[in-house]
A and B are shown apart, each in its own frame.
Chain A
């Protein structure tokens, strides 16, 4: 892989809560403009890895590099500036409940741009239109359904035209159709914005639709079990556990009953 092509590099990352090590020596290189999936069983540390990447939790060891520059080596101020290049969609949207959708999306714009208010309104409208929420500007999050809240969260994550979008379990709590639409939206955004996208997910259908590359975290050995395109891993991996995960255990079950 060409060095310029690498947007994110996870280097010897060890994650821990106190003295309890969740995952050790995670390594990965994520290509610019690709969709990268963090997979793993429940409790394997997928979300923890995400928290380590977006600056919410300090790694016990190792580093994450963005555009070849150390992230955790920066002081707090510089790290905060770096964070503006990220957009994060949290599991249940994490919209600020005391603000309307327009205010939710507009807050980062108001804080970090010197645009006049009318421009900000235009951009807010565009972002909400991109996720199909045109017209819902004046609604409060509590008045929306879970799926709408999630899409609004996505509009907010995109507010500052981030270079990297992080998604924590984007399909959790969505019906199959909505979840497929969200997958399409993710692909469309990657193609039109050229953003690099990191997704935490264990929703297989969605993984196979959007993924370019992935890592599979293993709770038992607390290391990375496999790395690569999920479809290829499913079809060609020699590790039975990896194939079992990517086929919902159907292959190993079939193997057990002759």
Chain B
């Protein structure tokens, strides 16, 4: 490929282009035209000769377009007749459909105070949204209790199946490992006082009161809360939520309530299951590394677990189930209308869910201490 820019007459610049221009490494190779336009004496017209041109692509067209634009800006007469017909047509097409010059983005740099204020307002609105959603759910629940809700039991059972039985595998694995870890720590530390026998108590109490509900809640948050947010978010993108609303169906009663109730109902069962598995994990460690018989371990475990601890754990589990479903659905319903927004909604669902679980567990710890549970 080759470019020669010469003066046909003192004020007419003629650019000879030949060869295959698809192979140019950068479009600045066409810059010679632009440079030649600036040379004295001033150019009045630009002409092209492309008889030897064998190949061109969009980049060639784009660069020629730049030259033409620059030339027109200097009131130089551009004679495009010499260009290949395809190039001419594309250049014309790019000019006939003028973009709107007023659409260019103006980035306004915000002041610190403005940003702070906007964040605060957004945060306040987010908090309001949190409680508005809660209110809507309570109204929906009231409707359900009075038998007036558009509630789909089939949907609720489907969600129960997905969140309950289908989650058993991962719940079992995580809680078994947590039981193992608790027993290991206990065995190491308690052995210093010759109190190895209390490993059973430690595992039992820690599991039933704290670890089983928390771990199960967190697993469900990652597994189910995220799924709720993604599903509702995608339904929003597809306008399925709008479709429900235009039929006068309440998305809260139709989509959110079944999910919340399903999870609140399934969590106690999952917690009991997690209790058993976690204690089994503790037993495996104790039986294999400590000098404790199965009978002793079992009797200590049974002795250690008080009914109120057990019930507290179950209640917490159910509450965490509510938090997971609530945050998942809330973030899903708040999602925007794009794929990226659905991704964001899912992330926020998991973050909010896990934070809510841990924070409320702290409150539970203080309360149960004060109430001597």
Interface string of B12-48 (1 = CB under 8 A from A): 0000000000000111000000000000000000000
* Contact (Cβ within 8 A) B93 A130: yes
- Shortest Cβ distance from B350 into chain A, in angstroms? 19
* Contact (Cβ within 8 A) A131 B97: yes
* Residue from A114, A115, A142, A185 within 8 A of B337 (CB atoms): A142
Contacting residues, chain B, for A131 (C-beta < 8 A):
97
* Contact (Cβ within 8 A) A125 B85: no
* Contact (Cβ within 8 A) B338 A130: no
Given pairs A134-B100, A188-B89, 15 additional interface contacts (CB within 8 A): A97-B339, A97-B340, A98-B340, A115-B27, A115-B59, A116-B27, A119-B63, A129-B94, A130-B97, A132-B97, A132-B98, A139-B103, A140-B338, A142-B337, A192-B86
- Shortest Cβ distance from A161 into chain B, in angstroms? 5
Interface residues of A in 109-152 (CB under 8 A from B): 114-116, 118-119, 122-123, 125-136, 138-142
* Contact (Cβ within 8 A) B59 A119: yes
Contacting residues, chain B, for A140 (C-beta < 8 A):
338
Known: A126-B94, A192-B93. A161 touches B339 (CB 8 A): no
* Contact (Cβ within 8 A) B26 A188: no
Q: Does B125 contact A (CB under 8 A)?
A: no
* Complex CA distance for A130 and B86, rounded to whole angstroms: 13
* Contact (Cβ within 8 A) A125 B90: no
Contacting residues, chain B, for A118 (C-beta < 8 A):
26-27
- Shortest Cβ distance from A54 into chain B, in angstroms? 21
* Complex CA distance for A132 and B101, rounded to whole angstroms: 12
Contacting residues, chain B, for A123 (C-beta < 8 A):
58-59, 62
* Complex CA distance for A97 and B340, rounded to whole angstroms: 6
Chain A residue at minimal CB-CB distance from B104: A135
- Shortest Cβ distance from A194 into chain B, in angstroms? 7
Interface string of A206-248 (1 = CB under 8 A from B): 0000000000000000000000000000000000000000000
* Complex CA distance for A163 and B85, rounded to whole angstroms: 18
Chain A residue at minimal CB-CB distance from B340: A98
Show 25 residue pairs from A and B whose CB-CB distance is below 8 angstroms, ordered by the A residue.
A97-B338, A97-B340, A98-B340, A116-B26, A116-B27, A118-B26, A119-B27, A122-B59, A122-B62, A123-B58, A123-B62, A125-B62, A126-B62, A128-B99, A130-B93, A131-B97, A134-B94, A134-B97, A134-B100, A135-B101, A136-B103, A138-B105, A140-B338, A188-B89, A191-B86
Q: Does B57 contact A (CB under 8 A)?
A: yes
* Contact (Cβ within 8 A) A122 B66: yes
Q: Does B61 contact A (CB under 8 A)?
A: yes
* Contact (Cβ within 8 A) B339 A126: no
If over half of B's interface residues share one DSSP class (helix, strand or loop), that class is named, otherwise mixed; here it is helix
Query: Among B25, B58, B98, which residue has the most Cβ atoms of chain A within 10 A?
Result: B58
Query: Among A126, A127, A136, A185, which residue has the most Cβ atoms of chain B within 10 A?
Result: A126
Q: Does A174 contact B (CB under 8 A)?
A: no
- Shortest Cβ distance from A105 into chain B, in angstroms? 11
* Contact (Cβ within 8 A) A129 B97: yes
- Shortest Cβ distance from B339 into chain A, in angstroms? 5
Chain A residue at minimal CB-CB distance from B88: A192
* Complex CA distance for A225 and B240, rounded to whole angstroms: 37
Known: A142-B337, A192-B86. A119 touches B93 (CB 8 A): no
* Complex CA distance for A212 and B87, rounded to whole angstroms: 23
Q: Does B65 contact A (CB under 8 A)?
A: yes
Interface residues of B in 332-355 (CB under 8 A from A): 336-341
Contacting residues, chain A, for B85 (C-beta < 8 A):
192
Contacting residues, chain A, for B100 (C-beta < 8 A):
134-135
Query: Among B85, B98, B103, B336, which residue has the most Cβ atoms of chain A within 10 A?
Result: B103
* Complex CA distance for A133 and B94, rounded to whole angstroms: 9
* Contact (Cβ within 8 A) A134 B90: no
- Shortest Cβ distance from B55 into chain A, in angstroms? 11
Contacting residues, chain A, for B58 (C-beta < 8 A):
123, 126-127, 158, 161
* Residue from A96, A134, A192 within 8 A of B98 (CB atoms): A134
Contacting residues, chain B, for A78 (C-beta < 8 A):
none
Q: Does A193 contact B (CB under 8 A)?
A: yes
* Contact (Cβ within 8 A) A194 B86: yes
Contacting residues, chain A, for B87 (C-beta < 8 A):
192
- Shortest Cβ distance from A23 into chain B, in angstroms? 28
Chain A residue at minimal CB-CB distance from B344: A98
* Complex CA distance for A104 and B100, rounded to whole angstroms: 20
* Contact (Cβ within 8 A) B26 A115: yes
- Shortest Cβ distance from A155 into chain B, in angstroms? 11
* Complex CA distance for A139 and B104, rounded to whole angstroms: 9
Chain A residue at minimal CB-CB distance from B85: A192
* Complex CA distance for A185 and B340, rounded to whole angstroms: 31
Chain B residue at minimal CB-CB distance from A114: B25
Known: A138-B105, A161-B57. A122 touches B27 (CB 8 A): yes
Interface string of B98-115 (1 = CB under 8 A from A): 111101110000000000
